[in-house]
Structure 1
């Protein structure tokens, strides 16, 4: 397939959109399950998946207080009355 300009590309894509109320047949031609399977198999043969040998380190999750500080630009761990640092004694789960 050669290089096309954007208007021709849009025309090609929109030609696949059915008219309102038009019944479409999806088990024949380009939209058939067999055709999608062939495309998937061909793409896997062209670009085989490789296993990563190196061990990936998990990214540590940010704490809720750090996320609130980042989003709202306010520190939830600072006491609004005295300005001291608050400590967490318990979490409510229900």
Structure 2
């Protein structure tokens, strides 16, 4: 992650020419090339990948937590239902 970003193909399949950091008219402290194969940008942290504000990442995390919570509830309902059905099956068998 140096100050030179090589050219790349964006997510929209467009070729983006390479550029040097900092960019003209950009933040003078943004001297590192950051990002991924399909999106590169200049930043002031050599370990930064995301050009987004942190609030975007919080919403992403909240969405993941909601999804995981729903999956956990569905799994719990399945386990409870299977347990009740097994109990009913075993208790309804005639005992000899």
* Larger RCO, structures 1/2 (Cα 8 Å, 6+ apart): 2
Task: Report TM bin, short chain.
Answer: under 0.3
Select the structure of larger CA radius of gyration. 1
TM-score, structure 2 normalization = 0.26
TM-score, structure 1 normalization = 0.26
